[in-house]
Structure 1
Amino acid sequence: MKQSTSVLFVCLGNICRSPTAEAVFRHKAELAGLDIQIDSAGTHGYHIGKQPDNRSQSAGIERGYSFKGLKCRRVDESDFTKFDYILAMDRSNLENLRGMAPVQTHEKIKLFLDFADTEDEEVPDPYYGGKRGFELVLDLIELASDGLIAHINKQQ
Structure 2
Amino acid sequence: MKILMVCLGNICRSPLAHGVMEDLVKQKGFKWEIDSAGTGSWHIGCQPDRRSIAVAKANGIDITNQRARQFSSADFETFDLILVMDKQNYRDVIAQAKTPEQEEKVKLFIPDGFVPDPYYNDEEFPLVFDLVYTQCEKLLQELSK
* Superposition TM-score, scaled by structure 2 size: 0.96
Q: Which residue does 1:121 correspond to in 2?
A: 113
In structure 2, how many angstroms separate the alpha carbons of the residues matched to 1:66 and 1:130? 19
SS at match of 1:113: coil
State the identity %.
Answer: 41
Amino acid at match of 1:96: D
1:97-116 matched pairs, under 5 angstroms: 97-103=93-99, 104-114=101-111
Q: Is 1:135 matched with 2:131? A: no
Question: In the alignment, which residue of structure 2 is the partner of 1:117?
Answer: none
Higher helix share: 1
Which of 117, 136, 141 is the equivalent residue of 1:150? 141
Task: Output the CA distance in 2 between the equivalents of 1:58 and 1:40.
Answer: 18
Match of 2:33 in 1: 37
Q: Which runs of 5+ in 2 are unaligned?
A: none
Q: Is 1:84 the equivalent of 2:75?
A: no
Which one-letter code corresponds to 1:144 in the other structure?
Q
**Aligned residues between the structures:** 144
Q: How far apart are 1:135 and its partner, in Å? A: 0.8
For residues 68-79 of structure 1, the aligned pairs below 5 Å read 68-79=64-75
Higher relative contact order (CA 8 A, sep 6+): 2
Structure 1, unmatched stretches of 5+, are: 115-119
- Give the TM-score normalised by structure 1: 0.89
**Could you list the per-position Cα deviations for residues 49-86 of structure 1 after superposition, in whole angstroms to 9, with x for gaps in the alignment?**
00000001101100001113100000022101110010
Give secondary structure in 1 for the equivalent of 2:15.
helix
| C-alpha deviation, 1:97, in angstroms | 0.5
Structure 1 vs Structure 2 CA RMSD: 1.0
In the alignment, does 2:8 pair up with 1:12?
yes
One-letter amino acid of the structure 2 residue matched with residue 129 of structure 1: N
Q: Secondary structure at the match of 2:42?
A: coil
Q: Distance in 2 between matches of 1:94 and 1:77?
A: 13
Rounded Cα–Cα distance in structure 2 between residues aligned with 1:25 and 1:145 = 6
